[in-house]
Amino acid sequence: MKSIFKILSLGLICVSYHSFAQQASTSNELWQGRQAAVVLTYDDALNVHLDNVVPALEAHGLKGTFYLSAFFDGSKNRINDWRKAAELGHELGNHTLYHPCDASLPGRSWVSPDNDLHNYTTAQILKEIRMTNVFLETLDGKKERTFAYTCGDTATGEGSFMEDIKGDFVASRGVRGALNLIGNINLLNVDSYGINGESGAELIQLVKEAQEKNALITFLFHGVGGEHNLNVSLEAHQMLIDYLAENEETIWTTTMLEAAKHVKEHQN
């Protein structure tokens, strides 16, 4: 009787060990063995990205994703600096040539008629997006990158172009603020938190929520220490990246390109 009990309990230990090992291997694959993935994205090719953000990230060995609209002054006047940023391992993402937005949507009176995405044909925006890839390739030599919808707009007057650019990018970033588990991420329109005026503690709190949920969190910054009406202070931004660096064993901070490749692999 005693020996039967022994065999039974040994079996139980084996079963529980086996399921533990399985769980461990699954969570090790997820987010490179970390609790959460964090992607830092910076839109509109601002000088502060090159002057404030890249040095701050580099001090911690962190990499960001910078979405450039090729026609903006911060793109065309800083070619060599963007080249250097790419050499350091930061992603140069596509944010179109001219940054058109849909003027027919509420709150868009600032969009000029020639830059109205609603007046574009889909063929027109595709040409613009693909030409921006050529521009970016001259900076970083790469054919693989991600896209960010300008103003989060995914359609021309003819309808959605999300499917049309599917083959051009590993992923496209949107503007809806949400945390997502790896299986729920829509690579055609990746959620991101648009940051404007949050404190460092508030930014860190978002990352902690992602850690608790084993989620991906993407931040969308414009101004960092100025240069845009959507802005975060240098102090708040610094607090966030200090936290990410201090917790690199539990948080995978990476580019949108690398995160999206990881998601794609997992979803397949």
* Residue 102 binds Zn ion, judged by CB under 5 A: no
**Nearest residue to 28 via CA among 262, 184, 210, 219:** 262
In one-letter notation, the amino acid at residue 28 is N
Q: Which stretch binds Zn ion (CB under 5 A): 38-46, 105-113, 128-136, 172-180?
A: 38-46
Q: How far apart are CA 193 and CA 41, in angstroms?
A: 10
* Residue 44 binds Zn ion, judged by CB under 5 A: yes
Q: Which stretch binds Zn ion (CB under 5 A): 44-52, 54-62, 79-87, 235-243?
A: 44-52
Q: Provide, rounded to whole angstroms, the least separation between the CB of residue 72 and Zn ion.
A: 9
Nearer to Zn ion, 102 or 262 (CB): 102
Q: How far apart are CA 110 and CA 4, in angstroms?
A: 79
Taking CB under 5 A as the criterion, which residues in 167-226 touch Zn ion? none
How many residues of this chain bind Zn ion (CB under 5 A)? 2
Beta bridge partners of 253: 38
Beta bridge partners of 156: 159
Nearer to Zn ion, 43 or 91 (CB): 43
Q: Which stretch binds Zn ion (CB under 5 A): 2-10, 42-50, 211-219, 248-256?
A: 42-50
CB 82 within 8 A of CB 142: no
* Residue 43 binds Zn ion, judged by CB under 5 A: yes
SS3 (DSSP) at 236 = helix
CB 267 within 8 A of CB 183: yes
Q: Provide, rounded to whole angstroms, the least separation between the CB of residue 192 and Zn ion.
A: 12
Q: Provide, rounded to whole angstroms, the least separation between the CB of residue 22 and Zn ion.
A: 43
Radius of gyration of the chain (CA): 21
Q: How far apart are CA 236 and CA 53, in angstroms?
A: 12
For residue 265 the two structure tokens come to: 């692999």
Nearer to Zn ion, 69 or 254 (CB): 69
CB 200 within 8 A of CB 162: no
Nearer to Zn ion, 146 or 247 (CB): 146
Q: Provide, rounded to whole angstroms, the least separation between the CB of residue 196 and Zn ion.
A: 13
Q: Which stretch binds Zn ion (CB under 5 A): 41-49, 103-111, 158-166, 252-260?
A: 41-49
Nearer to Zn ion, 131 or 245 (CB): 131
Q: Provide, rounded to whole angstroms, the least separation between the CB of residue 152 and Zn ion.
A: 9
Block residue for tokens 């650019």? 165
Q: Where does this chain bind Zn ion (CB under 5 A)?
A: 43-44
